[in-house]
Amino acid sequence: MNQFPTALITGASAGLGRALSRSLAEKGWRIIGTARGAERLDLLRDELGPTFVPVVGDVTDPTHRGKLIDPVRQFGRLDLVVNNASALGPSPMPRLSKYPLDELTKVFEANVVAPLAVLQLTLPQLRASGGIAIDISSDAAVSPYEGWGGYGSSKAALDHLTAILAAENPDLPVYSFDPGDMRTAMHQAAFPGEDISDRPEPETVVPALLELIDRRPPSGRYIAADLLSGAAR
């Protein structure tokens, strides 16, 4: 059996997913990275080499999700799943009183249903390797920001889903991870026309994720700033 640790990262082509893929590759991990952007995934494969296996597609598509298990079988193990892919919803972000319900459905499909579907698919492999699962959350899940009703409520649902999954699987570390504000394309879409250059780059958050992966505290919700300061709860 392949002894290299293996990670499956959704939304791997940009932002936090790309930054984490790079850091794990430097540590000797093999990464199965999925995202909708074929060109950016190919660039990351060219950069990281054979340790990175791109699987182009949309995690809300059941057929695509089914393809993710093929490279897992190829590597012979799965040690980490990071559900990082997210949908912001319409930009500019509408108030809930005028939120298009078809768009809200898409946000929940991407941010709640797809992460659960990925974990339903991979839990047996994670358990076999003694692995861990991480769902990427947001401070919008716990703070009621005006205009963030669609995205924030979906992340609140993801938090609760993750907590219940942890309760139902006490042998498997399962985490919600709140990275805080980052300078990403999605965050820019949330503030169209505004300068977000004061937000930290995703690379600055990766050490907090690595702390979670390496230390494996009890299942729960963790905030990047707390992990980086050594005050994780």
> Between 232 and 82, where is the model more confident?
82
**Which superfamily, per CATH, for 6-229?**
NAD(P)-binding Rossmann-like Domain (3.40.50.720)
Rounded CA gap, 144 and 133, in Å? 26
Inter-residue contact 96 to 149 (CB < 8 Å)? yes
| Ranges of each domain in the chain | 6-229
- Say which amino acid occupies 200: P
pTM of the predicted model as reported, rounded to 2 decimal places = 0.92
Q: How confident is the model at residue 202 (pLDDT cuts 50, 70, 90)?
A: confident
Report, as an integer, the average pLDDT of 90-118: 96
pLDDT digits (tens, 9 = 90+) for 29-54: 999 999 998 999 999 999 999 999 99
Reduced to 3 states (helix: H, G, I; strand: E, B; else coil), residue 34 is strand
Cβ-count burial 167-185 (b if 16+ within 10 Å, e if not): eebeebbbbbbbbeebbbe
Respond yes or no: is residue 145 known to be catalytic: no
Task: Give the contacts of 39 (CB within 8 A, at least 6 positions apart).
Answer: none
Q: Burial level of 37, CB count in 10 A (0-12/13-18/19+)?
A: middle
Report the DSSP pairing between strands 80-83 and 220-223.
Answer: unpaired
pLDDT digits (tens, 9 = 90+) for 144-167: 999 989 999 999 999 999 999 999
Number of C-beta neighbours around residue 11 at 10 A: 25
E runs forming strands in 127-198: 132-136, 174-178
